[in-house]
Structure 1
Amino acid sequence: MGVTLIVNPGSSSKKFALYKDDVRVLDAYVESGGDGYNVCTLLKGVQQGCTTINRRRFHESLNDFLQKAKELNLINDLFDIEKVAVRVVAPGTFFQEHKVLDVGYMQKLKSVEAIVPLHIPHLLKEIEIINKELPHIKLLAVSDSAFHSTIPDFIREYSLSESETKSHDLYRFGYHGLSVASVIRRIHAVVGMDAERVVVCHIGSGVSVTAIKNGKSLDNSMGYAPGNGLIMGSRAGDLDTGALLTLMQIKNMKAIDAQNFVQTSGGLKGMTGDNDLRILLERKVKGEVLATKAIASFVYQIQKTIGAYTAVLGGLDLLVFTATAGERSSILRDLITKNLSGIGIVIDQDKNEACISKNGVISQMGINTKVAVIKTDETDEIFRITKTL
């Protein structure tokens, strides 16, 4: 009996999955909502129900998941689990490969912890729990940036000297690679065609846009670290260096303080006090000025990136929306596509409103550029990779 556990600790959520003889038998998704965290469990793809837990239980949710697996007789005990794979979001050429997670890997991960304050501290805590509960298992690190290793050097390199670039490993690594790869793998099944030129908009607490040419990553809006690029929930994205240096001087911040500040107090949270797109869209409907302006900035940046990637791809065959907000919010998709008819993007309002948290094509009939919602499945992508390690 081959049992694999998948652990995906994100910046504001956790996902767990159990595979038994290559079959996905149990899932749990934990995300912030209201005054606590919502936990939804699926048994062989069928939702079993959702509950609300507090912050303490959120931190212990892996233990609860393993207990649930035993209660359902999916495993007899924890020794049935042979492999555990975790999603790793970290900058560096070292982290652009899938690897066995050993002591040396942990040391390297801790060395870049401060650069990715929304991901690595959570990951390290999760690894600590895994090592405590499952000390016998083979632990695998699955890279979130490996998919973007195909980005050409002239795109991934910064305007620095070659010696500085290489000696300090400063490249645009790109992120959300597992999500994008899972989407690309299912385009034909959802859209009914193999698209050559694709732009994928991953919109969740983290936000990125990826340009795909013939199934390979050409560019990604995130750069060296996952805090770069577009406006996100609490991440400022591409903040002008002059503005950042001025802010550091005024607030007397060290580099590590500035790194933490722009990733935890920037973005929509910094602009409005709230990092939840659902709440901000509601505030916008009520006519609140701050929320309206923040959503306008958020949408503009995504539109601009879609336009830029359409240009470098030499046209666009397919635009994809994925991740929580991209899959669930027809309002957000409408706002983003509203001014893009000039590059051939036009959606059907009825199709758009009907496509909530499910796969589907939402573009108008007869339009050359297809627009689709394709649910991300990082979990299956991670499992597929574990079979090669």
Structure 2
Amino acid sequence: MKILIVNAGSSSLKFKLFEMPNEDVLAAGEIERLNMPGSKVKIKYGDGQVFKDQQDNISYERSAGIMLNRLKDLNVIDHLGDIKLVAHRVVAGANDFDKVTKITPKTLRRIVELGEIAPIHNPSEAKYIDIVTSILPEATQYAVFDSAFFHDVPAMNGQYGIPHELTEKFGIQRYGEHGINHTYITQEAMKMLGTNQADIVTLHLGSGASVAAERDGKCYDTSMGYTPMNGLLMGTRAGDVDPALVPYLMKRMGASADEVIEMFNERSGMLGVSGISSDMRDLEESSDPQAKLALDMFLNRVIKYASSYITELDGVDAIVFSGGIGEHDEWVRSEVCKKLRWFGVELDEEKNKAQEPGDLSSTDSKVKVFLIPADEEIAMVRDVYAYQK
């Protein structure tokens, strides 16, 4: 059975086509820098073959067309109808969805409605579902929710200090994001540690970024909140801001609340601070002092959350780097670990420069430092295949 996994992020589209139940990867692709100059397409398929292309400002709609049509054009499949199941990563499921869910018109409407929690993600994910439905009308589609992992967060960490009746009435709590990958890298870290009883801090660092604390495989705390805007400084998202800034900026800018939130989500973060780019690579190459400030602010927020979670857990057995920045930026890993030395974290700089997945900690480190590439797709395909059997 061929199952297509669609993982649409805020600035990239990842996808993998699996042959199940053997978990054979028939093709794996990524389209990055969506809606930016220099959008890049890369698809691995066959016996080590690679297709590459570069275009400017590939949109969400165009990326979906590239994904599906190239699988046929590259002879990965004979017909689009060979794809029987499609699973989509969906960020916000709130309390409505805590497991894999078959997509129906009712489910899709609710995903769209939950866009008020994840305005950057849910609407575009719903759009991909619509596009895939139009191209693959016979395929069964499922949603796998990022927020499901955070249902275990204890109330002291998951709830806000607002009147309890509002928490209950409106379902206001921390829903988190990147839960599929936090789940996967936590499970992989426990395998590497050789135990299911471990305290771990996982760092999913990319254009969207979050830190989570895990105890014995369950989430204990997370940097993201009711929406994915909260927490770390991100590519275009502001992260933690004083809520009083919303009415203040509404008055000063003559803007609506929605317009201020849109600014916090899409024109802030490293892009807003630097005035140059939301891409870490562009900022590291720049000599502009605002680019340096954006980098410093990003690192500062990562270190604050990681160190606070290590303290909250009374120490940890491991910290894990993942995500586009976490996996590919040796400088970020080095700078974060330097600040965590107080907790017994010691990075082997030679291993760090090699950037090979695995244990990057030095021999005398009291805490393991793991580099575990994000593989939300394998986690998703296992869940969906098990669910539909």
With the shorter chain as reference, the TM-score category is over 0.9
Structure 2 counterpart of 1:321 = 321
- What letter is aligned with 1:275? S
- SS of equivalent to 1:135: coil
**Preserved contact between residue 145 and residue 177 of structure 1 (Cα < 8 Å):** yes
- SS of equivalent to 1:218: strand
Deviation at 1:172, TM superposition (A): 0.3
Deviation at 1:10, TM superposition (A): 0.7
Structure 2 counterpart of 1:17 = 16
Percentage of matched positions with identical amino acids:
31
Equivalent-residue separation in structure 1 for 2:329 and 2:83 (angstroms): 37
Q: Are residue 302 (structure 1) and residue 305 (structure 2) matched?
A: no
Structure 2 counterpart of 1:387 = 385
Structure 2 counterpart of 1:124 = 126
- What letter is aligned with 1:82? K
**Preserved contact between residue 5 and residue 86 of structure 2 (Cα < 8 Å):** yes
- What letter is aligned with 2:284? L
- SS of equivalent to 1:145: helix
Structure 2 counterpart of 1:30 = 31
What's the TM-score once normalised by structure 2's chain length?
0.92
Post-superposition CA distance 1:41-86 (Å, at most 9, x none):
1126835142213335763233333333334544332222221110
Q: 2:376 aligns with which of 375, 378, 381?
A: 378
Equivalent-residue separation in structure 2 for 1:169 and 1:184 (angstroms): 27
Deviation at 1:210, TM superposition (A): 0.5
Q: Are residue 282 (structure 1) and residue 280 (structure 2) matched?
A: no
Equivalent-residue separation in structure 2 for 1:114 and 1:148 (angstroms): 18
Deviation at 1:37, TM superposition (A): 1.2
**Preserved contact between residue 345 and residue 367 of structure 2 (Cα < 8 Å):** yes
Deviation at 1:385, TM superposition (A): 1.2
Post-superposition CA distance 1:236-268 (Å, at most 9, x none):
011111223212221122222122111011111
Aligned length in residues: 383
- What are the ranges of 5 or more consecutive residues in structure 1 without an aligned counterpart? none
Equivalent-residue separation in structure 2 for 1:95 and 1:67 (angstroms): 31
**Preserved contact between residue 203 and residue 326 of structure 2 (Cα < 8 Å):** yes
Deviation at 1:117, TM superposition (A): 2.9
Q: 2:108 aligns with which of 91, 97, 106?
A: 106
Structure 1 counterpart of 2:180 = 178
Equivalent-residue separation in structure 2 for 1:280 and 1:214 (angstroms): 37
Change over 3 Å in CA distance of 1:47–1:320 after alignment to 2:
farther
**Preserved contact between residue 211 and residue 306 of structure 2 (Cα < 8 Å):** yes
Structure 2 counterpart of 1:4 = 3
Change over 3 Å in CA distance of 1:58–1:89 after alignment to 2:
closer
**Preserved contact between residue 61 and residue 131 of structure 2 (Cα < 8 Å):** no
What's the TM-score once normalised by structure 1's chain length?
0.92
Q: 2:362 aligns with which of 361, 364, 373?
A: 364
Deviation at 1:280, TM superposition (A): 1.3
- What letter is aligned with 1:37? S
- What letter is aligned with 1:117? P
Equivalent-residue separation in structure 1 for 2:255 and 2:345 (angstroms): 43
Equivalent-residue separation in structure 2 for 1:108 and 1:62 (angstroms): 22
**Preserved contact between residue 246 and residue 257 of structure 2 (Cα < 8 Å):** no
Equivalent-residue separation in structure 2 for 1:269 and 1:68 (angstroms): 32
Which region of structure 1 is more displaced relative to structure 2, 337-346 or 50-59? 50-59
Structure 2 counterpart of 1:349 = 349
Equivalent-residue separation in structure 1 for 2:67 and 2:117 (angstroms): 30
Q: Are residue 82 (structure 1) and residue 89 (structure 2) matched?
A: no
- What letter is aligned with 1:162? H
**Preserved contact between residue 190 and residue 359 of structure 1 (Cα < 8 Å):** no
Equivalent-residue separation in structure 2 for 1:310 and 1:217 (angstroms): 13
